[in-house]
Copies of this chain bind each other. A is one copy, B any other.
Amino acid sequence: MVEGSNLSTKEKILKVSEQVFAEKGFDGARVDEIARKAGVNKALIYYYFDGKDDLLDHLFNLLIDEVRNFIVEEVKDLNLDDDEAFNKVFNNTLNLLETKRDILKVAFIESLKGDTKHSIIFNLGEIIMGSEIERITEVFTSMGLEVPEDKQYMLVGEFFTGILPMIGFVIFKDNFSNYFGTDPDKIKDHFKKVFKKSHLGFHDLSK
Contact = CB atoms under 8 A, between A and B. Distances in A.
Interface of A: 22-25, 27-28, 105, 108-109, 111-116, 119, 121-122, 126, 150, 152-153, 155-157, 159-161, 164-165, 168-169, 171-172, 175-176, 178-180, 182-183, 186-187, 190-191, 193-195, 197-202, 204, 207
Given A198-B198, A201-B200, A111 B156 contact: no
Contacts of A115: 23
Contacts of A180: 122, 126, 152, 155
B201 A156 contact: no
A202 B27 CA distance: 37
A150 to B, nearest CB: 8
Contact of A195 (B27, B108, B161, B197): B161
A47 B178 CA distance: 36
By DSSP majority rule, is chain A's interface helix, strand, loop, or mixed? helix
B114 A161 contact: no
Nearest to A108: B112
Contacts of A116: 175, 178-179
Contact of A25 (B27, B193, B194): B27
Contacts of A201: 197-202, 204
A166 to B, nearest CB: 9
A178 B27 CA distance: 24
